[in-house]
Amino acid sequence: MGCLTHTSEHYKPWDGWETVLFKEARKDLFPPDLVNDFDKYQKDLIHLVGISERFSKRECCPNALFLRFEQKYWDYILDYGGIAEYQVSPRGEGPFIYKFSYGQPISNKQQQEIKVSIENKDLVLAYGFLVGVEDGVPVLSGRWIRAIPRHLYSTEVLSYVVKRDKNNKVITTESGLPEIEYTGQ
């Protein structure tokens, strides 16, 4: 976990749905882990952080959008005295797809709102269940995404990676967050 300064604090999920999901979700898994051990993680609620790339609708699923993100590392520290509140590493472990399910067919207005978010390269905190792998990319499904607008995050301040043990498993803190190693700015 990152270091706190007098202008920073640990991330606190929004009240309600995110508080519950953040507490329950696995934060020690990344795209290659999900692809390599698909059967092992299908029942786990998974939390990934990523930058939006694109979305698509599919004929098979009129009540869903398929969103593609590039996973990024984040130390779960908010910095109020710097360039951006969310200082996300430019590093990560590859793409993931999020099947965002609605209870009814998706309206044009909903599609437009998501399109704007994708075009703006919003940062996304996604919570979902592993439901598949497409061309080596893990697919999560759910209805729980928190979008952070582009002006609130930066990938140009800090660079870090997660620490892994000799078996390539992510090392976590007592709170279940990945331990990180700063690699520069």
pLDDT in tens, 125-180: 999 999 999 999 999 998 788 889 989 999 998 899 999 999 999 999 998 999 99
d(CA 108, CA 71): 27
Distance CA 163, CA 151 (A): 28
Q: In this predicted model, what pLDDT tens digit does every residue of 17-40 receive, in sequence order?
A: 999 999 999 999 999 999 999 999
In tens, the pLDDT along 144-156 reads 888 899 899 999 9
Give the whole-angstrom CA distance, residue 154 versus residue 158.
9
Say how many C-beta atoms besides its own lie within 10 A of residue 84's C-beta.
19
Supply φ then ψ for residue 38, to 5 degrees.
-50, -55
- How many CB atoms are located within 10 Å of the residue 124 CB? 20
Residue 5 has pLDDT above 70, yes or no: no
When pLDDT is averaged across residues 99-117 and rounded to a whole number, the result is 78
Distances (CA, A) of 139 to 69, 132, 144: 10, 5, 14
Distances (CA, A) of 76 to 33, 63, 85, 127: 20, 32, 10, 15
Q: What one-character-per-residue DSSP string does 116-170 give?
A: HHHHTT-EEEEEEEEEEEETTEEEEEEEEEEEE-GGGEESSS-EEEE-B-TTSPB
Q: Which amino acid would we find at residue 118?
A: I
Give percent helix, percent strand, percent coil of the chain, each to the nearest 5: 20, 45, 35
For residue 1, name the pLDDT band (cuts at 50, 70, 90).
very low
In the block, tokens 């997660």 appear at: 162
What pLDDT, on a 0 to 100 scale, did the predictor assign at position 109? 84
